Chain A
Amino acid sequence: MREQLTAVEAGPIRVLMAKAGLDGHDRGVKVVARALRDAGMEVVYTGLHRTPQEIVATAIQEDVDVVGISLLSGAHMTLFPQVIDLLKEAGVFERFILIGGGVMPDEDVDALLAMGVAAILGQDTPPDDAAVLVRGLVAKRGARV
């Protein structure tokens, strides 16, 4: 019976929130982090200027459900593929739900979704919608042993 527990029932959803690359704008990531906290989730915040290597190492050690990367520097088409490659190299790409946040052109969003990013939250996403979206993605994934 225990094996049928969903991640939600087994404990709070854990989310890594990282700022990637040369981007010091952390207002948005903090607003979302706070909204997820208020929705009952545990948010591991890395702080600014993380490299893809650091983000992947941190995701592995924290064993979060969701890896959220915020970047407003325009480097998303460079940094996301690096994170995805590193997750695949480490054999853990399937374990995490990858989401992104920031200002990105629609065609880039489509490309990122095609690469395996589960969702991109634009700058106009209401914070509470972010929590609903994360909860939905985790529920859809189901239990993780």
Chain B
Amino acid sequence: MSTTDERLADLLDRAVERDMAATSQLISALEGRRVGSGAVLEALHRAGGNAHVVGVTGAPGSGKSTLVSVLARELRDRGLTVAIVAVDPSSAISGGAILGDRIRMQDHALDPGIFVRSMSSRGSLGGVSAATVDAVGVLDAAGWDVVVVETVGVGQAEVEIMRIAQTVVVVSVPGLGDDVQAIKAGLMEIADLHVVNKADRPDAGKTVAELLSMLTLAGPPGPGGWPVPVLSTSAADSSGVPKLADTLAEHRAWMAGSGEGERRERAMAAARIHSIAKDLVLARLADPSATPLVERVVAAVAARRLDPHAAARALVDNEPITDLQLEKSA
């Protein structure tokens, strides 16, 4: 075993004993892709599968962080431990980020039953980062009852959270759009649960009505289906939050009983494998040993002796290309 392997194995042993420092350092190791030989990844995966992973997504400023913070308090009052992964956007210019979700969660800093980790999206456009799923894996394996992933404030199309969370909560606020916005494809259709936050505002009822109307256009759910609820919350005074916690538990129970949970686990597993496989292929192409061939193929495509599809097949599948295509000078 290498030093890295021993270190990671030790961190995992301590993380499952709810050691916050070890949990946190393990997340850092995975986020930095310092993964050693993979033995720990296997142990991590085997240990997981027990947490309820809840995704919270919605527009910037819709109150996600505040809502997650009061939800965490509610779940704690019910005797559950809560880990929160809060993602904020990275700069497209510098790659840096200001991670400010914690500002609204500081009340929990000293509660040993709440863990908060801020992440930047690190250039990823789906509302989470590539490492978010790894962080969720660590927290799940470490035995946290509920893992809440708060996405970047999103627009309409950032739906990566559906490949991480078992229950997706889409947070809306009054005044952002009309009933046509509500039937557009994308974010609105991945909700297992709609929450209209800032329900203390006067036009909240209209937003609830538009969401309900959008949902009825799809017709009633089939027998044993999940009728997507529209809840109202006001994170400012916690109203509606107990109902939200109840509904999250109901959704989890429905997933377990209906076979939908299993279907989604398979879909998430497939998505994860695809994404890792894609990374492996890209890493292979970026490997210095592949550089000479890559450069020759690139030159051939640029000179139009070879088409880019054939070039990709040559690099990934070792499909033969003729010397003529490769070598002839432009």
Contact = CB atoms under 8 A, between A and B. Distances in A.
Contacts of A45: 98-100, 102-103
B97 interface: yes
A47 B103 contact: yes
A125 interface: no
A37 B4 contact: no
A37 B93 CA distance: 10
Given A37-B94, A43-B96, A46-B103, A10 B33 contact: yes
B96 A145 contact: no
B31 interface: yes
Contacts of B125: none
Contact of B106 (A5, A47, A90, A145): A47
B253 interface: no
A46 B25 CA distance: 20
Given A43-B96, A45-B103, A53-B110, A11 B31 contact: yes
Interface string A44-82: 111100100110011011110000000000000000000
A79 to B, nearest CB: 16
A40 interface: yes
A12 to B, nearest CB: 6
Interface stretch (B115-123, B184-192, B275-283, B303-311): B115-123
B7 interface: yes
A91 B21 CA distance: 9
A: interface residue count bin: 20 to 34
B136 to A, nearest CB: 15
Interface string A20-36: 00000000000001101
Contact of A34 (B3, B21, B24, B98): B98
26 contacts: A5-B32, A10-B34, A11-B122, A12-B97, A33-B98, A37-B94, A37-B97, A39-B96, A40-B94, A41-B97, A42-B97, A43-B97, A44-B99, A45-B100, A46-B103, A47-B102, A47-B103, A50-B109, A53-B110, A57-B20, A58-B109, A60-B20, A60-B21, A62-B118, A63-B24, A90-B21
A145 B95 contact: no
B7 to A, nearest CB: 5
A46 B36 CA distance: 32
Contact of A3 (B4, B21, B116): B4
A84 B95 CA distance: 31
B27 interface: yes
Given A5-B32, A90-B21, 19 more contacts: A2-B35, A5-B34, A11-B32, A12-B90, A42-B97, A43-B97, A44-B102, A45-B99, A46-B103, A46-B106, A47-B100, A50-B109, A53-B110, A58-B116, A62-B118, A63-B25, A91-B21, A92-B21, A145-B4
A54 B24 contact: no
B216 interface: no
Specify which of A38, A90, A145 lies most central, judged by the most chain B CB atoms within 10 Å of its CB.
A145
A40 B96 contact: yes
Contacts of B115: 61
